[in-house]
Amino acid sequence: DGDGEAEAVLVDATIIRCVLVPAVMILCGRANWWLPDWLSRALPHLEVEGRRRAEQPREPVEVHSAQPGTR
């Protein structure tokens, strides 16, 4: 029957994911977010918030003021 599977899913969802994982993360502290140097060098450096792009000098942009009624 599926009772054993349902019980396993319930235990996994409640005890493991809601109790044990956060507790272990608190115990490990900053070690949770540690990335090995070799992996850091192998991965591409992505700027999620666009800081690197904002730091680049911008090229001047010509601004044309439109006259009323023209395109």
Q: Tell me the three-class secondary structure of 34-58, residue by residue.
A: CCCHHHHHHCCCCCCCCHHHHHCCC
Q: How many domains does the chain have?
A: 1
| Cα–Cα dist 43/5, whole Å | 38
Residue 42's pLDDT is what? 94
- Asked whether residue 16 is assigned to any structural domain, the reply reads yes
Output phi, psi for 56, to 5 deg.
-75, 145
Q: Residue 54 pLDDT more than 80?
A: no
Q: Residue 33 pLDDT more than 60?
A: yes
- Asked whether residue 46 is assigned to any structural domain, the reply reads no
- Asked whether residue 27 is assigned to any structural domain, the reply reads yes
- Asked whether residue 54 is assigned to any structural domain, the reply reads no
- Asked whether residue 52 is assigned to any structural domain, the reply reads no
Query: Is this structure's pTM higher than 0.85?
Result: no
| Cα–Cα dist 7/29, whole Å | 31
**Which tokens hold the place of 16?**
């493991």
Residue 46's pLDDT is what? 83
Residue 25 binned pLDDT confidence (cut-offs 50, 70, 90): very high
Residue 63 binned pLDDT confidence (cut-offs 50, 70, 90): confident
Range of the domain at 25: 8-32
- Asked whether residue 55 is assigned to any structural domain, the reply reads no
